[in-house]
Chains A and B, each alone.
Chain A
Amino acid sequence: MQLALTILMDGLIYASWLFVVALGLTLIFGVLKILNIAHGSLYAVGAYMAANAVTFFAAWGFGGWYALLAMLLAAAVTALLLGPLLERGLLRLFYGRDEVILLLVTYALFLILEDAVKLIWGVNPYYVTEPYQLFGNVAFESMFYVGYDFALIGLAIVCGLIVWFGLNRTVFGKIVLAVIFNREMSASMGVNVDRVHLAAFTVGVFLAAIGGAFTAPMISVQPGISVSVIIVSFAVIIIGGLGSIEGAAIGAVVVGLARAAAVHLFPEAELFSIYLVMAAVLVFRPEGLFQRAAARKI
């Protein structure tokens, strides 16, 4: 019983991290139809920016809880700088071409950003460990958890709710949904599709950056952190169904629990756990758990 609770807890903590990262990926796919391989690099940029911002704030005497604000601002700045730059400056040039072409464009972007990050921040590690202690420790059974881990669950829920509310309960959100559903029809009804693309991509970048920013306190920010993010977040949104927010949530929970169960019960199998879940889901529900069946054309 205690083991089951531990697995549940560990699984949910990991799932919340996965969800924040995957949410931006699934949003960008939903609106722009781009499976963004560079998502991991944007996550890394967010982590570096957060490391700088927290240090900067602390140097001006805004330590402690202000660090959370600093991390939020870092993600926002990253999104506002990179979102428009990449969408207007690069991706726009390739709209209308095949999904695979766009996938490869983001692969090229990933290569470029890897070196760009290295040119800007160098290879030395950055640390921002102070925020990790802000929430203290929580005793559970015979062990501790760090309060920050639970704060991450809160962050994931808040991010998910805001994006869901923004899409389903606001006028602009409805327009975005219309574009997701049928781009040509929306354009002919007078929707400024360009603006929707820009907004969706920027929000997607923000979500990647916030994932990186709030992970920064738990890791050493250095080259190589982007690669590990890409494949797991891909797996999450494929399990959940590409472009679906609910799907990303379910996918994250499924992957998180599967991994936690593997670590506690069959540590030898951890390496496969994610891919096996992904393959199994694809075999039984090829379009993911939360995807409507596609209509076939005649």
Chain B
Amino acid sequence: MSQLSLSQLVGRHWLGRPFAAAAAIAAGLFIGSAPAQAQETFKLGIVTFLSGPASESFGVPARYGAEYLIEQLNKGSVPAPYNKVGFGGLKIEPIIVDENGGATKQVQELRNLYQRENVDAVVGYIGSGDCLAVAPVAEELKKFLILFDCGTPRIFEDASYNYVFRTAAHATQDNVALARYMKSRNVKVDTFSLINQDYAWGQDSRADFIAAINQLYPDAKMSADLLPKFGAGQYGTEISALARANSSVVYSSFWGGDLQAFILQAGPRGVFQRGQAVFSAADHVLQALGDKMPNGAIIGARGAYGLMAPDNALNRWFFPGYSAYRNGTYPVQASYRMVQALLGLKAATEKAMAANGGKKPSPEQLADALRNSEWETPGGLIQMRNGNGHQAIQAMAIGRTRWDADKKMVLVEDIQRFPAECVNPPAKMKSLDWIKAGFPGAKCD
């Protein structure tokens, strides 16, 4: 509380904030670490996009998810088995930091969180590049880190960590599940066109989707293969190219503002009437787009989230609770992923405290408790199966959109659920190799 309370104290005066900041900077510089705390709390660093292109779609929904859950946890009003106050009785004290600004800044801020703010754990990171950059830092400092959203499989496939975890499945399952859904629904794929952003997410999703389609539809031919730059905003030319290609399926891994702009511009030009639209991560744009969302588009949510979330006790609590907290906006992918990370951290903390006699657990104890564990969340069961028990796998859902004029919202129908082991590679196999080998060991019940 030391530095925060100072700014809260003077925060009432209009000049207070800069003053408080200056004072706090001075305090931070010369005193360094915070003095002993009156009542012990669990200091939690949360890193998510608060500005920039990823803020609207992922960063801020994740932040609201964290704020809502932490408020409820500190009141002790989350349903069992999470009904204990805070983390094992310790109130949670969040410190929220903006992820915008590149990997160099993230490495620096992560060190500041651990070494200056003395946080007990950090949960964060949406950008794959950021995840990749910060993971070795936490490992080297021997501090506890949960990556909650980023998609690249490389993190635990290229390296192994003791203190770093990812509590959500990586991006491979998105495209494998899409292809499996299309196959099981007998979607005709004579030719397919692709439009993806020209950076790692788009490039990786493209490779995964092509590999998965080649497995399940060996005769399908690829026509247009477009790679506009991230954040382009104007897709008229690409849409012409898609229209000319006239293929039976149009796939995109676009997200956020780019996806919305693409749908707004492609819709009137008939792209979605000519071919089946397939979007790998689109649940977060349904509320914003409303009736502009094409009917019958096959969409994924990077997990069983939002309208595709399972009907379990936790989701019956979370979905309406969050919606009320956000004045009617229901939770989507990033909110769910933040919540599953925090619930995992809570479960691990309480498991570690049960083992160490109720003290605040060390990073090692937290890591031992979380490794290979599993826990229930509003989005279903999370299992730390891959990456030596550091990488989660989870069940997936894919569905089709339909605009309901009476309810004035886009519904997701014809939902098919895929068990985690049906769409995720086994522990010792790299994702793309697994797809190209024909999904060996996949268990689709």
Q: Does B104 contact A (CB under 8 A)?
A: no
A residues touching B (Cβ–Cβ < 8 Å)?
A: 3, 6, 9-11, 13-14, 17, 114-115, 118, 123-125, 127, 129, 132-133, 137, 142-146, 149, 215, 217-220, 222-225, 227-228, 259-260, 263-264, 267-268, 270-271
Q: Can you name the residue of chain A whose Cβ is closest to the Cβ of B242?
A: A143
Given A267-B241, A268-B227, A270-B229, A220:B257 Cβ within 8 A: yes
Q: Can you name the residue of chain B whose Cβ is closest to the Cβ of A6?
A: B240
Q: Can you name the residue of chain A whose Cβ is closest to the Cβ of B291?
A: A129
Q: Are A227 and B231 in contact (CB under 8 A)?
A: yes
Q: Can you name the residue of chain A whose Cβ is closest to the Cβ of B236?
A: A13
Q: In the complex, what residues of A have CB within 8 A of residue B264's CB? A: 127, 129, 132, 217-220
Q: In the complex, what residues of B have CB within 8 A of residue A224's CB? A: 52-56, 231, 257
Alpha-carbon distance between A123 and B226 when the two chains are bound, in angstroms: 29
Alpha-carbon distance between A13 and B239 when the two chains are bound, in angstroms: 12
Q: Are B229 and A144 in contact (CB under 8 A)?
A: no
Q: Does B237 contact A (CB under 8 A)?
A: yes
Given A132-B268, A220-B257, A228-B231, A259:B237 Cβ within 8 A: yes
Q: Can you name the residue of chain B whose Cβ is closest to the Cβ of A274?
A: B229
Alpha-carbon distance between A215 and B51 when the two chains are bound, in angstroms: 21
Q: Does B269 contact A (CB under 8 A)?
A: yes
Alpha-carbon distance between A10 and B60 when the two chains are bound, in angstroms: 35
Q: Are A125 and B269 in contact (CB under 8 A)?
A: no
Q: Are A17 and B226 in contact (CB under 8 A)?
A: no
Q: In the complex, what residues of A have CB within 8 A of residue B227's CB? A: 267-268, 270-271
How many whole Å from B50's CB to the nearest CB in chain A? 8
Q: In the complex, what residues of A have CB within 8 A of residue B268's CB? A: 132-133, 137, 144, 146
Residues 224-235 of chain B, each 1 if its beta carbon lies under 8 Å from chain A, else 0: 111111011110
Q: Which of B55, B225, B256, B292 touches A129 (beta carbons < 8 Å)?
A: B292
Given A218-B265, A219-B261, A224-B257, A143:B243 Cβ within 8 A: yes
Q: Are B257 and A115 in contact (CB under 8 A)?
A: no
Q: Which 6 pairs show the lowest CB-CB distances between chains A and B?
A: A224-B53, A220-B260, A143-B243, A10-B237, A219-B261, A228-B231
Q: Are B236 and A267 in contact (CB under 8 A)?
A: no
Alpha-carbon distance between A146 and B268 when the two chains are bound, in angstroms: 7
Q: Jot down 20 A-B pairs with beta carbons below 8 A, ordered by A.
A: A10-B236, A14-B234, A115-B51, A123-B51, A124-B56, A129-B292, A132-B264, A143-B243, A143-B269, A146-B269, A217-B264, A218-B261, A219-B264, A220-B260, A220-B289, A224-B53, A228-B232, A264-B240, A267-B227, A270-B226
11 extra A-B contacts, CB within 8 A, seeds A137-B269, A142-B243, A215-B233: A11-B237, A17-B234, A124-B288, A127-B292, A142-B244, A144-B243, A220-B289, A222-B53, A224-B54, A228-B231, A271-B198
Q: Are A125 and B270 in contact (CB under 8 A)?
A: no
Alpha-carbon distance between A13 and B216 when the two chains are bound, in angstroms: 39
How many whole Å from B368's CB to the nearest CB in chain A? 38
B41-86 residues with Cβ-Cβ distance < 8 A to A are: 51-56, 59-60
Q: Can you name the residue of chain B whose Cβ is closest to the Cβ of A124?
A: B56
Alpha-carbon distance between A129 and B257 when the two chains are bound, in angstroms: 14
How many whole Å from A18's CB to the nearest CB in chain B? 9
Q: In the complex, what residues of A have CB within 8 A of residue B261's CB? A: 218-220
How many whole Å from B126's CB to the nearest CB in chain A? 13
Q: Are B257 and A225 in contact (CB under 8 A)?
A: yes
How many whole Å from B364's CB to the nearest CB in chain A? 38
Q: Can you name the residue of chain B whose Cβ is closest to the Cβ of A136?
A: B268
Q: Does B238 contact A (CB under 8 A)?
A: yes
How many whole Å from A40's CB to the nearest CB in chain B? 11
Alpha-carbon distance between A264 and B223 when the two chains are bound, in angstroms: 12
B residues touching A (Cβ–Cβ < 8 Å)?
A: 51-56, 59-60, 198, 224-229, 231-234, 236-238, 240-241, 243-244, 246, 256-257, 260-261, 264-265, 268-270, 285, 288-289, 292
Of B54, B236, B241, most A-chain CB atoms within 10 Å: B236
Q: In the complex, what residues of B have CB within 8 A of residue A270's CB? A: 198, 226-229
Q: Are B257 and A142 in contact (CB under 8 A)?
A: no
Q: In the complex, what residues of B have CB within 8 A of residue A219's CB? A: 233, 257, 260-261, 264
Q: Are B241 and A127 in contact (CB under 8 A)?
A: no
How many whole Å from B385's CB to the nearest CB in chain A? 35
Alpha-carbon distance between A17 and B233 when the two chains are bound, in angstroms: 11
Q: Can you name the residue of chain B whose Cβ is closest to the Cβ of A228?
A: B231
Of A17, A132, A220, A271, most B-chain CB atoms within 10 Å: A220
How many whole Å from A82's CB to the nearest CB in chain B? 20
Alpha-carbon distance between A143 and B53 when the two chains are bound, in angstroms: 31
Alpha-carbon distance between A146 and B270 when the two chains are bound, in angstroms: 10
Of A132, A144, A263, most B-chain CB atoms within 10 Å: A263
Q: Are B51 and A118 in contact (CB under 8 A)?
A: yes
Alpha-carbon distance between A225 and B56 when the two chains are bound, in angstroms: 12
How many whole Å from B231's CB to the nearest CB in chain A? 4
Q: Can you name the residue of chain A whose Cβ is closest to the Cβ of B60?
A: A123
Q: Are B56 and A263 in contact (CB under 8 A)?
A: no
Q: Can you name the residue of chain A whose Cβ is closest to the Cβ of B226?
A: A267
Q: Are A125 and B228 in contact (CB under 8 A)?
A: no
How many whole Å from A144's CB to the nearest CB in chain B? 5
Q: Can you name the residue of chain B whose Cβ is closest to the Cβ of A152?
A: B236
Q: Which of B51, B234, B244, B257 touches A125 (beta carbons < 8 Å)?
A: B257
Q: Which of A9, A123, A146, A228 touches B56 (beta carbons < 8 Å)?
A: A123
Q: Are A264 and B237 in contact (CB under 8 A)?
A: yes
How many whole Å from B395's CB to the nearest CB in chain A? 29
Q: Which of B60, B238, B246, B292 touches A263 (beta carbons < 8 Å)?
A: B238
Alpha-carbon distance between A259 and B240 when the two chains are bound, in angstroms: 13
How many whole Å from A91's CB to the nearest CB in chain B? 24
